[in-house]
Amino acid sequence: MKRRGYWLAVVVGLVIAGVVGCGQEAPKTSTPSASAAPSKSVTDSAGQAVVDSIKQPLDKSRAVEGTLEKAAEKTADTVKDATP
């Protein structure tokens, strides 16, 4: 039972490291002049770009998390079957 807790801790640690390591900066945009207000389409496209830049690393980390969970379960089952 202690091994399962160990593997869970390893998986959680790897997921946290993956999320932190995959951090990306939002795309830099030039500051609009005070007299010209940005149009709605410009702000929408900039907002969507920020969402996309955040979504891609999160999707990758979720895929890695799923793979690690499956591997941990398989290893735990192997260990469980091997113990008398």
In order of 40, 42, 46, 50, 77, the CA distances from 27 in angstroms are 18, 14, 8, 7, 45
pLDDT in tens, 20-75: 666 666 566 665 555 555 677 888 888 888 888 889 889 999 999 999 999 999 99
- Look at residue 23 in the predicted model and tell me its pLDDT: 64
Mean pLDDT, residues 6-21 taken together: 79
Q: Where residue 2 falls among pLDDT bands split at 50, 70, 90?
A: low
Can you give the residue ranges of every domain in the chain? 12-21+60-78
Dump strand ranges (E) for the chain.
none
Indicate if the pLDDT at residue 4 is higher than 80.
Answer: no
